[in-house]
Structure 1
């Protein structure tokens, strides 16, 4: 059995740029390698798309690995550092 990376629950708000438009969404969980994105509008992403995620003043590039209803799984182009993860997790508070 393959070991899955530890997924950290979050509700961080993010802005997403996809090939079919930009929208706001929420990270449902986060690991160094990827994330679950929740609240995706219909027809804005498909599996295989490369999207941009903007959160806490930083931009991250990720590939859509799976998609179901308004949720998808992402794999980051570059693994996140511990600092980047902690910064995103700390952004859960809406201002």
Structure 2
């Protein structure tokens, strides 16, 4: 079984643009491959939707992989670099 990417806890505020409209959310965690979104409004996202996540001056394209209650997991179209993750974490660093 392949190892999962290191998930880093955060409470970064983001804006999400989705097919059903835009909304504010919070990142619960982030890794190079994806993130967990918290505070997703009812019926705003469906599995396989593509979204644009705006965080720390970055615009990230991602696909919704799972959705439960007000939380969902997304997989980034392109893996994040260490620099991008550090920006999202507010300069806190990776380790």
Normalised TM-score (structure 1): 0.93
User: Would the alpha carbon gap of residues 91 and 53 (structure 1) be closer, same or farther in structure 2, given more than 3 Å must change?
Assistant: farther
Where do 5+ consecutive residues of structure 2 fail to align?
none
SS of the equivalent of 1:74 reads strand
Per-residue CA shift, 1:25-72, capped at 9, x if unaligned?
Answer: 000000000000000000100000000000112100000000000000
Mapping of residues 23-34 of structure 1, within 5 Å: 23-34=23-34
Answer whether contact 1:56 1:91 (CA < 8 A) is retained.
Answer: no
Q: In the alignment, which residue of structure 2 is the partner of 1:64?
A: 64
Which structure is higher in helix share? Answer: 1
Q: Matched residue pairs, number?
A: 92
Where do 5+ consecutive residues of structure 1 fail to align?
none
**Residue 91 of structure 1, CA deviation:** 7.0
Q: In the alignment, which residue of structure 2 is the partner of 1:54?
A: 54
Q: Over the residues paired in the alignment, what is the CA RMSD in angstroms? A: 1.3
Q: Which runs of 4+ in 1 moved over 3 A?
A: none
Mapping of residues 1-95 of structure 1, within 5 Å: 1-90=1-90
**Residue 2 of structure 1, CA deviation:** 3.0
Answer whether contact 1:14 1:55 (CA < 8 A) is retained.
Answer: yes
Normalised TM-score (structure 2): 0.93
